[in-house]
Structure 1
Amino acid sequence: MRVVIAEDDALLREGLAALLRAEAIEVVAVTDSAASLEDLVGAHDASLAVVDVRMPPTWTDEGLRAAIEIRRHRPDFPVVVLSAHVEPAAAGQLLADGAGSVGYLLKERVAAVGDFIHAVHRVAGGETILDPEVVSTLMQRRRSPLAALTGRERDVLELVAQGARNGEIAAKLNVSEAAVSKHIRGIFDKLGLHSEDAGHRRVLAVLSYLRER
């Protein structure tokens, strides 16, 4: 894996690079400018980018916009976006193409090194990973179309949005994998998701409430 890091805080930027290198992940470039991110990804043939949402000059959404632009030119390019706070709108924009290979994590989560590295690998493998606090905030806000879901289906959807696989969901909820599969089919049906691609439907299930801000 070849990673580019875009982060304006020098200490965090170097810390992220050190964490990744300690796990034998190659960091091919670092930058404090969102404007240079796409050029660095191309110049170094990167396979994943770790990007801060808020970067100079306005510290609003420069990093987010840079990540979205990369994916516009390089569909499915894996991106892990870091944010200091829960920003549902940013998560929604990042996931809008429904393509996967996206991570949205709070910066405080980087301190849990194992979880952060695990998320990076899963995003590189095509999965969508949302920070649990982001998911919790979104679940509390949403009433429709989630109103049709049972309490257990909402529990399952929350874990799906966090990137949990069926076996992990089963273990956390103390149910069988068959039961999890049944709940997920129910979620898809109630949300009107009829694609044949189950992985794609998992992303669309998350988008169904991200879009209702």
Structure 2
Amino acid sequence: MTPSDRRPIPEELLLLCADPVDGRLRVPAATYHRVLAGGVVVELLLDGAITVEERRITGYRPLGGQDEVAAGVLARLEDAGKRRNGFSLDRAIRQVPRRPGSAPFLARLAADGFVTVEQRRFLGLPYRRHVATRPGIGQEIAARVAATLAREAGGAGAPADGRSAADERDRQLAGLIGAGRLDRRVYPGPAGAATRRAVRLLVRELPVARAVRRAVDADSSATAG
């Protein structure tokens, strides 16, 4: 996957979390939904559509051109009006609906040739399966993110105020991988240990990743209860 192939973070999360052969999610659906919601919010942050301070969204401005999921987040912010303390990140993550879910992101990936759509039947009922056109594409994304984190850990990365937009996207993606506790799946074994450590540090550092982790933990507690 070349730099020009970079996809919006929700799409890259989908490519990371889905089995490249059968298209099925390799993580719990509830966890993926929270991580996907975080990806939508991160895209808005990186695009300058929202500003964030710690646990709150402190400003927003519609830029146009957002997909329906991101547009819904901005619409809810607009409906809430200008609150004295802003709008909480936790609430923004929780309010991303489960539908349409991955559908708009899968549609874009299919339109651009990253996945193919297969028509199948089960017990006589039709369904569609999305399969990566290149089985190793998720590994390519994971390797790119790992390389970015390794540069920063080795002191070769730029300071925060001079960090490239591409490197910041990789950091935010890594934070979401960690927030959903996907790091052991994406970076398994001893070879992935250093990357996992860097990912976990980003979960503590990045506000959206922290909000996603709180949502995932709340879901787990509710299920256990």
The two structures share one fold, judged by TM-score above 0.5: no
Shorter-chain TM-score tier: under 0.3
Normalised TM-score (structure 2):
0.25
